[in-house]
Amino acid sequence: MNMTFIISLLEGLWGTVVLSVLTFIFGGLAGFLIALARISPVAALSKGTAVYIEIMQGLPLLVLMGLCFYGPGIFGYDSLTPLQAATFALTLYSSAYLGEIWRGCLQSVARPQWEAAECLGLSRWQRMKTVILPQALRIATPPTVGFMVQIVKNTSVASLVVGYAELSYNAKIINNSTFQPFLYFGIAALMYFAICYPLSVQSRALERKLNVANR
C-alpha cells in the first residue's frame, strides 16, 4: 500500500468534510428561513417558497451542479471555483429538502400548543422560540441527521461535474494508476463510514436526551 496514495485519500477526505460542513451551514440557514416562510401567514412567502422547493426537488443534483458551475460564464460573469460551485449547488439542493423537512416538523407540533402560546400574548417569534421550536427540534433530529448523511455521500457528485477533488474523486484517480479498485475504494468506503457513523450515533444520543427532557 503506497503512502502517497493514502495521503491523497486523506486529502480527498478533507475535501469531502469541507464541502459537507459548508453545505450544512449555508443549507441549514437557508432551510430554516424557508421553513419559516412556508408556514408564514403571508401568502406570497408561503407560495413562493413552495415553488422554490418544487423546482429544487425536481432537478437532479448533477444538473443543478452543472448549471451553477457553467451558468455564470455563459452570462459573462467570472466562473465559480469548483468548491464555490459545489457549495452553491448543494446549498440550493439541501435548503429545499431541509426547509420541507423542518416545515413538516413545525406543523406536527400539536395545534393546542400554538393556541396556548398565542393566548399568553406572545409575539409570533416568541411563540416560535419558546414553545414551538423546542418541540419541533425533538421531532426534526432523526430526519435532519439522516439527510446530513446523504449530503456527505452526495458530495461525490461534485467530482463528476466541476472536478472538485473530494474523496471518491481521489479514489478514482488512484485506481486509474494502480488498478486496485477493491483496495482503494474499500478504504474510501471506510472513510465515508467514519464520517457518517458518528453522526448517526450523536443523533440517537441527542434524540434520547431530548425525549428525557420532555417527559
Q: Cα(155)–Cα(19) distance, rounded to whole angstroms?
A: 7
Q: Cα(185)–Cα(188) distance, rounded to whole angstroms?
A: 5
For 16-20, 85-89, 111-115, 184-188, which range has the lowest pLDDT when averaged over its residues? 111-115
Share of the chain above pLDDT 90, in %: 57
Decide yes or no: CATH 1.10.3720.10 for domain 16-166.
Answer: yes
> Cβ–Cβ contacts within 10 Å for residue 97, how many?
20
- Mean pLDDT of the region 210-215: 55
Say if residues 77 and 90 touch (Cβ distance below 8 Å): no
Quick: pLDDT tens for 157-175.
Answer: 998 888 898 999 999 999 9
Position 128 pLDDT exceeds 90:
no
Position 141 pLDDT exceeds 90:
no
- Mean pLDDT of the region 113-126: 77
- Which run of H or of E encompasses 16? helix 3-38
Residue-averaged pLDDT of the chain: 89
Q: Cα(100)–Cα(2) distance, rounded to whole angstroms?
A: 45
Say if residues 127 and 117 touch (Cβ distance below 8 Å): yes
Tell me, what's the pLDDT at 213? 45
Whether the CA torsion 165, 55, 79, 22 is positive or negative: it is: negative
- Mean pLDDT of the region 111-122: 77
Greater confidence, 40 or 205?
Answer: 40
Greater confidence, 200 or 156?
Answer: 156
